[in-house]
Amino acid sequence: MSRDKILAALQQNQPELVPLPPDLSFEKDETIDLSAKFKAMAEGIGSKVYEVADAEEIKRLIALDFPDAKRILSNVDEVVSDGIPAFILDADPHSYENVDIAIFKPRLGVAENSALWLTEDLMGVRALPFITQHIVMIVDVAALVPDMHTAYQVIGDADYGFSTFIAGPSKTADIEQSLVLGAHGPRSMTIFLCRF
């Protein structure tokens, strides 16, 4: 059996055990303004960032920025309204192929790269953050952390079936290194930085 063959070969060939680095704590700049850094990184990779006071402002800005959106789905209760229906589960992920805007509230935002940590329970279905034409993220300033090390400290040994860091709209530079936003996933990402 290949499994046993591979493991036996490794036992034979792998070097003597060397320890893991004991210390994974990297020095942090405590003076850093997390939302300013996060915003700069997010805008740098093509996201649009608003700092908003309340959910009403978010609803108004979505209506303003996406006047032609036909199908909007929200996984965030605070912004559900007549124009922004709540997500309803359909077990077939293909049924979301015509979604124009999907709204999520990630658990964490990482200032150093603007990555947003979205676990499956906040997605509705796994396909939604990818299949939607545009993605909207509502990010609580209190959920910002400086870097990836801190992010994984906060994540800890959380259980999930699927989870992802998303940083900006989908993109490619495969053709002569020309950056094009909107490869296979969302064409745009709009982030609302808020305090709720």
Partner 1 sequence: MNEATKTHPELSEIFNQDEARVDWHDETLWWIRQKRDKSAHSIPEWERLRETASQIKNNVLSGLAGYLTTFEKNALANGIVVHWAADAAEHNRIVHDILKRNGIGQMVKSKSMLTEECHLNEYLEEQGIDVIDSDLGERIVQLAKEPPSHIVLPCIHKKKEEIGDLFHIHLGVPAGTSDPQILTETARQHLRETFLTRRGALTGVNFAIAETGEFVVCTNEGNADMGAHLADVHIASMGIEKIIPQRKHLGVFLRLLTRSATGQPITTYSSHFKKPRAGQEMHIVIVDNGRTVQMGREDFRASLKCIRCGACMNTCPVYRRSGGHSYHTAIAGPIGAILAPNLDMKKYADLPFASTLCGSCSNVCPVKIDIHQQLYKWRQVIVKEGYADTTKKIGMQLMTFTLSSPTVFRTAGKAGRWVLKHIPFAVNNKFNPWFIHREMPEPPAESFGEWYKKNVKKNS
127 binds partner 1 (CB under 8 A): yes
Buried b (16+ CB within 10 A) or exposed e, 39-69: bebbeebbbbbeebeebeebbebbeeebeeb
Buried b (16+ CB within 10 A) or exposed e, 80-95: bbeebeebeeeeeeee
Candidates 103, 139, 168, 191: give the one binding partner 1 (CB under 8 A): 168
What x-and-dash track marks residues 65-104 binding partner 1 by CB under 8 A?
--------------------------x-xx--x-------
The two tokens of residue 105 are 């509230």
Which 11-30 positions form the footprint of partner 1 (CB under 8 A)?
A: 11-21, 24, 26-27
Under 8 Å CB-to-CB from 136, ≥6 apart: which residues? 62, 101, 102, 103, 104, 189, 190, 191, 192
Runs of H (alpha helix) within 14-117 = 34-44, 55-65
Candidates 43, 50, 85, 176: give the one binding partner 1 (CB under 8 A): 176
Residue 9 CB, nearest approach to partner 1 (Å): 4
Instruction: Give which of 42, 20, 13 is closest to 116, Cα–Cα.
Output: 42
31 binds partner 1 (CB under 8 A): no
CA max distance for the chain: 66
137 binds partner 1 (CB under 8 A): no
Candidates 114, 124, 136, 139: give the one binding partner 1 (CB under 8 A): 114
Q: Using the minimum distance from each CB to partner 1, give the nearer residue, 50 or 165.
A: 165
Residue 126 CB, nearest approach to partner 1 (Å): 4
3-state SS, residue 139: strand
170 binds partner 1 (CB under 8 A): yes
CA atoms within 13 A on the CB side of 69: 23
Residue 34 CB, nearest approach to partner 1 (Å): 15
Residue 113 CB, nearest approach to partner 1 (Å): 4
What x-and-dash track marks residues 41-70 binding partner 1 by CB under 8 A?
x---x-------------------------
